[in-house]
């Protein structure tokens, strides 16, 4: 019985001894274990001062969204062959999968949509003004159940204008 108690107290003494040893080591010795991890303290470093011009305060996507379609002016000459050629390349990157290589709405991806993508060379689509078409491909078509995806976050504004000029340059079939 006495022997068991001695063993128990011995074990406890070894345990607490080791435990306090480790605690003292961790608290007062600046090497080994957690001391090597960089400690991140909130608000320790001063906030970075932003360079002027980093945050845009004018222009941008919100401006296009808020503007009336008629007020939107393309920065390009809509008849320039260079602009139209660039628009063509962009069309085959961003629109062809739905509207088709022949602009007839027969693109592979487009077939899973209801309503289906329209023929871009139909009289109805060709009659859409540049500004309206720009807004349609940027933010979707403003009609209940319309399915044109909003591509404002996918395509640069200038590239959207070039695509519009390309589509309009195709004319009615």
The residue ranges that bind ligand HEC (CB under 6 A) are 94-95, 97-99, 109-110, 113, 115, 117-118, 120, 125, 128, 133, 136-137, 141, 146-149, 151, 163, 167
State how far the alpha carbon of 61 is from the alpha carbons of 109, 113, 141, 148, in Å.
27, 27, 16, 18
Min CB(135)–ligand HEC separation in Å:
10
Nearer to ligand HEC, 11 or 146 (CB): 146
Nearer to ligand HEC, 99 or 157 (CB): 99
Contact 164, 154 (CB under 8 A): no
Nearer to ligand HEC, 67 or 132 (CB): 132
Min CB(77)–ligand HEC separation in Å:
19
Locus of tokens 């000029």: 165
């Amino acid at each position: 019985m006495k022997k068991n108690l001695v063993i128990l107290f011995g074990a406890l003494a070894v345990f607490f001894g080791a435990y306090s040893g480790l605690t003292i080591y961790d608290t007062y010795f600046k090497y080994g274990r957690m001391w090597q991890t960089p400690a991140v303290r909130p608000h320790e470093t001063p906030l970075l001062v932003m360079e002027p011009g980093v945050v845009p305060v004018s222009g941008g996507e919100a401006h296009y969204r808020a503007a009336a379609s008629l007020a939107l002016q393309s920065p390009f000459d809509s008849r320039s062959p260079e602009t139209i050629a660039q628009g063509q390349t962009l069309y085959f990157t961003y629109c062809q999968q739905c509207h088709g290589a022949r602009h007839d709405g027969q693109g592979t991806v487009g077939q899973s949509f209801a309503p289906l993508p329209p023929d871009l060379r139909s009289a109805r689509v060709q009659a859409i003004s540049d500004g309206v078409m720009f807004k349609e491909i940027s933010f979707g078509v403003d009609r209940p159940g319309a399915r044109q995806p909003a591509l404002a976050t996918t395509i640069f504004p200038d590239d959207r204008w070039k695509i519009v000029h390309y589509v309009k340059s195709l004319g009615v079939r």
